[in-house]
């Protein structure tokens, strides 16, 4: 699939190293460092289970088009994975915040790190976009358990379904507390987690409270047993974490604006963000594109999280994500060529490549949108 003479040599050398298959030791630090800037293929089973809805929508389209999901190995993800490897899990969890300009690859790096956690057998609590819980909600019911709060049954049950798909092997865990949902329904002590989730999925009215209960259970159990069958590490991944402390665009029935605290889901998620539990890690990414009432030029944590959010999230480990450098851009360009995505003959020449560099300024999302119509 190489095109013209002088370029084909360069292309052949790179294409051998362009993609490599995901294997058991794929997350070995040395291997990852060596393959920095190159693509690795996500196994389709993992994509179905782990990321039914967690990947960015354009990337999902790309997976469908190319029939494979290839992720580029980039320094922010490498950094995150190395921190995860070296962290001490008997202590409270470390909070990692991925921040950067729009379209630089924060969500993709988050998903990469999450894939690492999944392959190591952790329990994944993944909120793909917290902004979805804070705007455009059709139904806002007053909460069944607490009078001043509001429930979002659709979002909660959707999330529970996805949680079930991702963490199938953990569904037979034992739980500790007794939860009362209504006068007739209650979940007894010692029931498996799967039943709790089914309860939430079937009864939409109490699904938000079920979410809260699930999160609480996981918090209590994550650091509990360090050996034996009950041991697991908890990875909490939230994309668009600035939604938790920003403003909502939802209105109550008397037409006043809703505060984030008044939403059950947000309240429970905030409790999860605190590091008063142990045995896991909190990976988050900021997002300006989905955020409500934030200017487009804001990308630093202090700007997007706001004062309240910053105080709550502190201390955290910031990881900055930036545009592609020369090598990464080269790799992305060769990948598109390899997949025959760049159809226009001019785009395969040197001048075409320079034009692409200029027009996208090596920003991953802009480059992807640009190549989409070439």
> Which chain residues interact with another protein by CB under 8 A?
296-297, 351, 354-355, 357-361, 363, 366, 370
Quick check: helix, strand or coil at residue 352? helix
Determine contact, residues 42/21, Cβ cutoff 8 Å: no
Closer to another protein by CB, 24 or 350: give it: 350
| Distance, CA of 125 to CA of 162 (rounded, Å) | 10
Looking up tokens 């209960």 gives 213
What are the strands, taking DSSP E only, across the chain?
A: 19-21, 39-42, 69-72, 94-100, 123-127, 141-142, 150-151, 179-180, 186-187, 234-239, 280-285, 317-321
Q: How far is the CB of 2 from another protein (least distance, A)?
A: 24
Helical packing angle, 364-372 and 350-360, nearest 10°: 130
CA distances from 328 to 22, 222, 297, 373 (A): 19, 37, 25, 21
Strand partners, 237: 126, 283
Q: How far is the CB of 354 from another protein (least distance, A)?
A: 5
Closer to another protein by CB, 255 or 296: give it: 296
Closer to another protein by CB, 27 or 299: give it: 299
Determine contact, residues 243/292, Cβ cutoff 8 Å: yes
Closer to another protein by CB, 199 or 363: give it: 363
Closer to another protein by CB, 18 or 304: give it: 304
Q: How far is the CB of 359 from another protein (least distance, A)?
A: 5
Closer to another protein by CB, 133 or 299: give it: 299
CA distances from 315 to 99, 241, 243 (A): 15, 15, 18
Q: How far is the CB of 356 from another protein (least distance, A)?
A: 10
Quick check: helix, strand or coil at residue 47? helix
Q: How far is the CB of 204 from another protein (least distance, A)?
A: 40
Q: How far is the CB of 181 from another protein (least distance, A)?
A: 48
Q: How far is the CB of 16 from another protein (least distance, A)?
A: 28
Closer to another protein by CB, 220 or 359: give it: 359
| Distance, CA of 38 to CA of 232 (rounded, Å) | 31
């Amino acid at each position: 699939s190489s095109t013209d003479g002088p370029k084909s040599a360069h292309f052949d050398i790179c294409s051998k190293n362009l993609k490599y298959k995901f294997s058991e030791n794929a997350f070995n630090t040395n291997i990852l460092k060596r393959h920095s800037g190159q693509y690795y293929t996500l196994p389709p089973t993992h994509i179905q289970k782990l990321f039914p809805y967690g990947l960015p929508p354009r990337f999902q389209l790309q997976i469908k088009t190319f029939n494979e999901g290839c992720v580029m190995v980039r320094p922010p993800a490498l950094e995150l994975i190395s921190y995860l490897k070296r962290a001490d899990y008997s202590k409270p969890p470390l909070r990692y915040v991925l921040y950067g300009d729009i379209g630089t690859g924060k969500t993709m790096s988050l998903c990469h790190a999450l894939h690492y956690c999944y392959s190591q057998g952790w329990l994944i609590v993944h909120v793909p976009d917290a902004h979805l819980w804070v705007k455009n909600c059709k139904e806002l019911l007053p909460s069944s358990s607490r009078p001043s709060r509001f429930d979002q049954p659709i979002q909660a049950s959707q999330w529970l379904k996805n949680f079930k798909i991702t963490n199938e092997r953990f569904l037979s865990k034992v739980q500790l507390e007794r939860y009362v949902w209504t006068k007739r329904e209650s979940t007894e002590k010692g029931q498996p987690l799967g039943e709790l989730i089914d309860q939430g999925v079937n009864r939409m009215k109490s699904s938000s409270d079920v979410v809260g209960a699930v999160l609480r259970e996981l918090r209590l159990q994550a650091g509990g047993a360090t050996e034996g069958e009950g041991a697991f590490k908890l990875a909490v991944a939230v994309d668009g974490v600035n939604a938790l402390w920003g403003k909502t665009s939802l209105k109550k029935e008397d037409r006043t604006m809703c505060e984030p605290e008044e939403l059950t889901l947000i309240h429970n998620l905030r409790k999860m963000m605190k590091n008063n539990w142990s045995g896991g890690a909190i990976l988050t990414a900021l997002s300006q594109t989905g955020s409500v009432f934030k200017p487009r030029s804001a990308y630093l944590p202090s700007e997007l999280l706001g004062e309240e959010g910053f105080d709550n999230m502190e201390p955290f480990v910031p990881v900055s994500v930036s545009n592609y450098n020369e090598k990464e851009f080269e790799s992305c360009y060769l990948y598109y060529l390899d997949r025959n995505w760049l159809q226009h003959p001019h785009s395969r020449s040197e001048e075409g490549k320079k034009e692409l560099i200029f027009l996208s300024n090596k920003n991953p999302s802009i480059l992807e949108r640009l190549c989409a119509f070439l």
